[in-house]
Amino acid sequence: MPLMPKRVKYRKVQRGSRGGLAQKGNQLAYGEYGLQSLERGWITAIQIEACRVAANRAMKRKGKLWIRIFPDKPITKKPLEVRMGKGKGGVDQWVAVVKPGTMLFELDGVPETLAKECLRLAATKLPLRVRFVQRHAHD
């Protein structure tokens, strides 16, 4: 079962504004290493799950992975070959809205080389450009 909210106030939402940079959630908060987005876009619940699986496989039960984004936006889609009109389609998937600078994943408890490899594998599952970041000694 992919990530999605337990309950929502409204079943369907509009596309919304995607401008600007991430003001919060743009710093390392939990781990030593992180994956930070460089572009804006939507990341689906299935893509987040694919990243989690890829990173955890590479870690081989060592270290800890934090997922810093949550898909709380419902995206609707009308069925194929349906005529125009008759209202908005049903909820098709859930996405997380990501702005440039958003911290997507964090890792700790593994060496830097392994952390880089884990997050590189996770990054291949994402539709955005991302960068590897790490906490500095003086932070």
Q: Is 1 part of any domain?
A: no
Q: Is 118 part of any domain?
A: yes
Q: Is 15 part of any domain?
A: no
Q: Which residue is listed with tokens 């590479």?
A: 58
Mark out the alpha helices in 1-139 (DSSP H runs).
45-59, 112-123
Q: What is the pLDDT of residue 85?
A: 93
pTM of the entire predicted model:
0.91
Q: Is 66 part of any domain?
A: yes
Q: Is 16 part of any domain?
A: no
Check which CATH number belongs to the domain holding 69 and give it: 3.90.1170.10
Q: Is 3 part of any domain?
A: no
Q: The domain containing residue 69 runs over which residues?
A: 33-79+89-134
Beta bridge partners of 68: none
Domain count, the chain: 1
139 residues of the chain, pLDDT tens digit each = 778 999 999 999 999 888 899 988 899 999 999 999 999 999 999 999 999 999 999 998 899 999 999 999 999 999 999 999 999 999 999 999 999 999 999 999 999 999 999 999 999 999 999 999 998 765 5
